Amino acid sequence: MESSKPPDVYNTAENNSNKLENKSLPIVGKATSLFSATQEFKLPGISSKVIRILDSSIVLVFMLIVTFYALFSDDIRVSQFTKADDDGFFALSCCALSFFGIEMILSFIVKPEYRWSFYFWLDLIATISIIPDIDWAWNPIVGINSSSSSTSSGNVSQIQNAGKSSRAGARAARVIRIVRLVRLMRIAKLYKHARKAVKTNTLEQVSSDDTVNIPKESRVGRKLSDIITKRVIILVMIVLILIPLFDLDFYKTQSYSWDYGIYTVDHYDEVFPDSDEIKEYYKDYYKDSYRPLIYVAYLNGTTWTSNSTDPNSLREIEKYYAHTDNSVAIYNIRVDSILDAQLSACKTIFVCIVLVAAAIFFTNDANNLAIIPIEKMINKVKAIASNPLKIAEEKILDIYDVIEEESKSRCEKLTKMCKKSKKVPIEYETAVLENAFVKIGVLLALGFGEAGASIISSNVKSGGDVDPLIKGKKIAAVFGFCDIRNFTDATEELQEGVMVFVNELARIVHSTIDHYSGAANKNIGDAFLLVWKFDSEEVQEFSDPVIFKPESKQVKYMGDLALVSFLKIMVKVNKDPVVLKYRSNAKLVKRMPGYQVKFGFGLHLGWAIEGAIGSNFKIDASYLSHHVNMSSNLEGLTKNYGIPILLTDRVHNILSPLGQKYCRHIDTISLKGGRDVYRLYTSDVDFSGIMPGKFKDNSKERTKNKRRALKFRLDQGVLESSEVIEGSKEIALIKKSFTEEFFEAHAEAMKMYLCGNWTDAHNLFKNVLKIRDADGPTKSIIAYMEENNFQAPQDWKGIRPLY
């Protein structure tokens, strides 16, 4: 049984629990269920057991069968069976009446939401409408007595009673027209049990398979669907019931030739009482017709009964009484009753179709215009809450697709303009609101970055006030710092154009970092903080240095990806025509002759606290740790060493053998009074062989798939990070000019330098400069040794103190 307040009425009770859980299902397609629940409540033990029985699959299927029987049994009885079979149908109808009554009473007792609800009244009407299907109860109500209408005896009193029965039958026929329409109320009961059966079956499947995920419908969708379906049922039933009231046939029984015939015979008998000719003619005329005369009785006691059909074998609705004060004639109209029953069954099916179609069409409009957009918004908000970065990535990809489409050749655009234009779909306010939600989410994700994803997620998921200052989280990562050289001079010369300048470089930096599993964190004017974060389960101890678990996968490739990212950025800056144009910018060249866009890079591995920094007025999502500062310090040291990139031994230790081969040890330094000691490495680069070429945007869909495939293959061990380095022709090209002779000479000089034999080291470093006279690290160390007259300090331990 249903309730006008759907919650908690038709849910299957969970095993070993007194709580009923909501599981919502659509009516058809997206149309939402009337009977889903959203609240939970506890019931006494007996009530809970009764509800479990009422909502069990066996009971629901059984009641569904009973409802089908109630809908079509009377029509099948009349059209396919004879009066002799009626008692069996009446007995089954009595059982159906009992089942409906028991179900309604139990639901009324144990389900408070069902009491006096919309579906309670529908069920009550549907249950009462079964009574006219039971002649044992219905005939006395409408004044039909089977014994009084019997033609087994021809006495005068029985003939007079037959006349009364004919008048009662005429009244009953008019009432039955309405009853048959009221009986269509059982369709609502059929719908109810069908929905309950489907839902219970689905819930049982879910309980047997925890991996099944049923989408949760919105409350507004559930409520709107409930209201629409109620109104459709009421409207259709009112129209069906009230329209016959406006027909004349309902108030006045039509006169047929049968009535005129018996009236003529009666009148002729009064004029010629001794002649039976007209009576014989009357019988012969009608006894073989399509609706034959089967019985005639006169007041004087004379009767005639057809040999083909016994009037007592016909139901009252299969007989037509034509009568006067002195005579009664009965006609066999079983053919009409059969046709009427068949049409009634068709009407029942038609109303079912109308109700379902109306519910679908009405709810579809509501779904398309309101519910679906609202649920899309809810899903977008949930998606933003679960993974803000993914939503931002997908939305940005859509933007790039639009840009790519808009950049097609003018010829293609003109061709499209020549084609027949299509009607532009109307953008409703709900679509505008949905797009606004997405844009706000994307902007939040872009603004907060990977470090702020947890801030967005936790605040969207929570139902309270906004709390941006959530507790930080310790993470391990490779931190990279990237600085644009000569930025102050470029700003003064480019003025407003400096924003375009920075964004063009940011496009290269961010897209490259993203492709190799990194994330941009801060844009500080001329610098970028970049992060390659390890999953927390990869870390064994957040010490200094960080200790990773032996089975860690990311530690095998994350260092290589960070190094490759910086090398790729340098290649693209020296290759992309968008960046190369600044080499010919008149203002920049005048101020800095031979100007080229250059970067400085620092790479360091360590732990940091990820979280929000600031107050309720302004926050930034970033990382706090001396390890983050170390990457910035390394970038600053690149200027001292005259090289574009520096990395510490913490990063060098996790590089692949090929990655380590591409790096050169250039110094060992100490910071913070000697507490922190680092071996410094650089990756030598020479861009003289790089030819200008078009930069391919790595943010497009195919590159996103490549990035995911790259990380997946690295995680699965299908691909080694060294293969990523080895497979890059550009990296091989910028390394080509650095010979083994150069590396061996530098390594020998470094050995003498670290051992404290600075005199020999000086001579060996001079040999290095003969091979590459512009080598910055060599010049830096020579300058440092020169400050000490090429004599190592007394406490020299191979470590150069900086600050």
Task: Report the half-sphere exposure of 115 (CA within 13 A, side-chain side).
Answer: 6
Mean pLDDT, residues 594-604 = 95
Tokens of residue 604, six digits: 């360091």
Q: 734 to each of 48, 462, 603, 738, 747, how far by Cα in Å?
A: 76, 51, 19, 9, 20
Between 558 and 376, the higher pLDDT residue: 558
Mean pLDDT, residues 750-757 = 95
**Angle, vertex CA 111, rays to CA 106 and CA 117, nearest 5:** 100
Please report how the helices 334-366 and 57-80 are oriented relative to each other, as an axis angle in degrees rounded to 10.
140
pLDDT score of 779 more than 60 = yes
Sign of CA dihedral 37, 39, 42, 43: negative
Distance, CA of 317 to CA of 332 (rounded, Å): 10
Residue 781 in contact with residue 764, Cβ under 8 Å? no
Residue 724 in contact with residue 564, Cβ under 8 Å? yes
pLDDT score of 145 more than 80 = no
Which pTM value belongs to this model?
0.59
Mean pLDDT, residues 605-613 = 88
Distance, CA of 449 to CA of 518 (rounded, Å): 11
Distance, CA of 681 to CA of 683 (rounded, Å): 7
Between 581 and 126, the higher pLDDT residue: 581
Q: Which residues of 225-258 are buried (b: 16+ CB within 10 A; e: fewer)?
A: bbebbbebbeebbeebeeeeeeeeeeeeeeeeeb
Three-class SS state of 61: helix
What's the CA dihedral at 60, 64, 70, 73 to 10 degrees?
Answer: -140
Instruction: Output the pLDDT for position 157.
Output: 54
Per-residue confidence band for 399, with pLDDT thresholds at 50, 70 and 90: very low
Neighbours of 702 (CB within 10 A): 9
Q: Which residues of 168-200 are buried (b: 16+ CB within 10 A; e: fewer)?
A: bbeebbbebbbbbbbbbbbbbbbbbbbbbbebb
pLDDT one-digit tens code per residue, 218-235: 677 677 777 777 777 778
List phi, psi (to 5°) of 82: -105, 180
How do strand 293-298 and strand 519-523 relate by DSSP bridges? Answer: unpaired
- In 3D space, the residue among 472, 641, 612 whose CA is nearest the CA of residue 542 turns out to be 472
Instruction: Output the pLDDT for position 427.
Output: 58
pLDDT score of 571 more than 70 = yes
Per-residue confidence band for 11, with pLDDT thresholds at 50, 70 and 90: very low
Residue 66 in contact with residue 28, Cβ under 8 Å? no
Task: Report the half-sphere exposure of 70 (CA within 13 A, side-chain side).
Answer: 31
Instruction: Output the pLDDT for position 410.
Output: 42
DSSP characters over 488-543: HHHHHHHGGGHHHHHHHHHHHHHHHHHHTT-EEEEE-SSEEEEEEEPPGGGEEE--
Distance, CA of 755 to CA of 11 (rounded, Å): 81
Neighbours of 17 (CB within 10 A): 11
Burial of residue 259 (number of CB atoms within 10 Å: 0-12, 13-18, 19+) = middle
Tally the residues of the chain: 803
Three-class SS state of 52: helix
Mean pLDDT, residues 502-522 = 90
pLDDT score of 583 more than 60 = yes
We find that the CATH architecture of domain 473-735 is: 2-Layer Sandwich (3.30)
Q: Which residues of 126-150 are buried (b: 16+ CB within 10 A; e: fewer)?
A: bbbbbebbbbeebbeebebeeeebe
- In 3D space, the residue among 416, 417, 558 whose CA is nearest the CA of residue 476 turns out to be 558
- The alpha helices in 24-85, defined as continuous H runs, are 45-54, 57-80
Instruction: Output the pLDDT for position 401.
Output: 46
Beta strands in 243-355 (DSSP E): 293-298, 303-305, 319-323, 327-332
Instruction: Output the pLDDT for position 436.
Output: 76
How do strand 519-523 and strand 619-624 relate by DSSP bridges? Answer: unpaired
Query: Hey, what amino acid is at 675?
Result: R
Instruction: Output the pLDDT for position 456.
Output: 60
Beta strands in 659-765 (DSSP E): 664-671, 676-682
Q: Where are the domains of the chain?
A: 257-332, 387-407+427-462, 473-735, 741-801
Three-class SS state of 3: coil
Please report how the helices 86-110 and 118-128 are oriented relative to each other, as an axis angle in degrees rounded to 10.
160
Burial of residue 736 (number of CB atoms within 10 Å: 0-12, 13-18, 19+) = exposed
Instruction: Output the pLDDT for position 647.
Output: 97
Mean pLDDT, residues 724-745 = 92
Between 699 and 599, the higher pLDDT residue: 599
Q: 684 to each of 473, 639, 643, 664, how far by Cα in Å?
A: 36, 14, 8, 8
